[in-house]
Amino acid sequence: MSLLSIGTVAFDAIETPFGKTDKIIGGAATYISLSASYFTQNLNLVAVVGEDFPAEYIALLNSKGINTDGLQIKKGEKSFFWSGKYHNDMNGRDTLITELNVLADFDPIIPASYQNCEYLMLGNLTPMVQETVINRLAKRPKLVVLDTMNFWMDVALEDLKRVLTKVDVLTINDEEARQLSGESNLLKAARKVLTMGPKTLIIKKGEHGALLINDNDKFYAPGLPLEEVFDPTGAGDTFAGGFIGYLASTGDLSFENMKRAVIHGSAMASFCVEKFGTENLLNLNKQMIADRVAEFSKLVNF
């Protein structure tokens, strides 16, 4: 089953209570693709970087089976750059810098070989670009999942509301669900967001897990208690990559299977936060992922 992911491929500078990085590789689509690569092999990426982006990292993505024919490299331009600082409890963070650079006028070109993709993951990016990608696909994918963040609610709310009418699943965090709906109660917020287009909503709650909600059902996945949490950056994207990767590998879009997909996404996110940046996502294997999923079962079975 083919999966197309879009989103930022970026440089990040991160500060957590445990340390600080200079520019390292990040970006929503980077985390999504690496995470999904453990579930499905037919994986295509659409994104844009500047001339400053290291060719070795693109080769690394390729070595994970990620097709980068749709990754544009803009001569003489700089890659998207984001810098953030986490609060002491690691749940909240402040964005210090967002430099759009190549993202400011990104025109996503879909290679012919990517057409007919069955699963589309619209990672965090300009809502207008997310919509353009949907419009440029000859056939609507079987499943469209969209992730976004408060930044786009602040600067492009109308565009975001328009693209929401075209997606199946929305993943946002609890604060973003409140901001988007104007409701402080999470269930009321969810109900309102479900009238905006998506049939299914996933509300991520950081270390406290994730809620999966549609008009008829609710499911709560806990966060796995971890001894080492170094850097939560990319956890949401890694979750999304695991979620849609699992759905693409099983081909079953029932609510019951989405529950399993949420647990697989949560397992992937738990690996992500244990090291800085994408480091921990580079050397996993199927057995390690299965063992993590088993830990989730053990945690909630009684």
- Our CB check for ligand AMP shows the closer of 82 and 230 to be 82
Q: Name the minimum Å distance from CB 226 to ligand AMP.
A: 16
Among 5, 8, 33, 101, binds ligand AMP (CB under 6 A): 8
Using CB under 6 A, pick the residue from 70, 108, 198, 236 that binds ligand AMP: 236
Q: How far apart, in whole angstroms, are the C-alpha atoms of residue 284 and residue 157?
A: 37
Q: Residues 11-40: x/- map of binding to ligand AMP (CB under 6 A)?
A: -x-------------xxx------------
Residue with Cβ nearer ligand AMP (27 or 50): 27
Q: Which is nearer to ligand AMP, 77 or 118 (CB)?
A: 77
Q: What does the DSSP assignment read for the chain?
A: --EEEE---EEEEEEETTEE-SSEEE-HHHHHHHHHTTT-S-EEEEEEEETTS-HHHHHHHHHTTEEEEEEEEETT---EEEEEEE-TTSS-EEEEEEE-GGGGG------GGGTT-SEEEE-SS-HHHHHHHHHH-SS--SEEEEE--HHHHHH-HHHHHHHHTT-SEEEEEHHHHHHHHS-SSHHHHHHHHTTSS-SEEEEE-GGG-EEEEESS-EEEEPPPP-S-----TTHHHHHHHHHHHHHHHH---SHHHHHHHHHHHHHHHHHHTTSSTTGGGSS--HHHHHHHHHHHHHHH--
Q: 98 or 257, CB closer to ligand AMP?
A: 98
CB of 10 to ligand AMP, least distance (A): 4
C-beta closer to ligand AMP: residue 2 or 70: 70
Q: Which of 10, 48, 164, 224 binds ligand AMP (CB under 6 A)?
A: 10
Nearer to ligand AMP (CB atom), residue 2 or residue 126:
126
User: Least distance to ligand AMP from the beta carbon of 208, Å?
Assistant: 15
Tokens of 100: 């759009």
x/- map, 83-102, ligand AMP, by CB under 6 A: ---------------x----
Question: Closest CB to ligand AMP among 26 and 50?
Answer: 26
Q: Which of residues 143-182 bind ligand AMP (CB under 6 A)?
A: 149, 151
Applying CB under 6 A, the residues found at the interface with ligand AMP are 8, 10, 12, 26-28, 82, 98, 124-125, 149, 151, 233-237
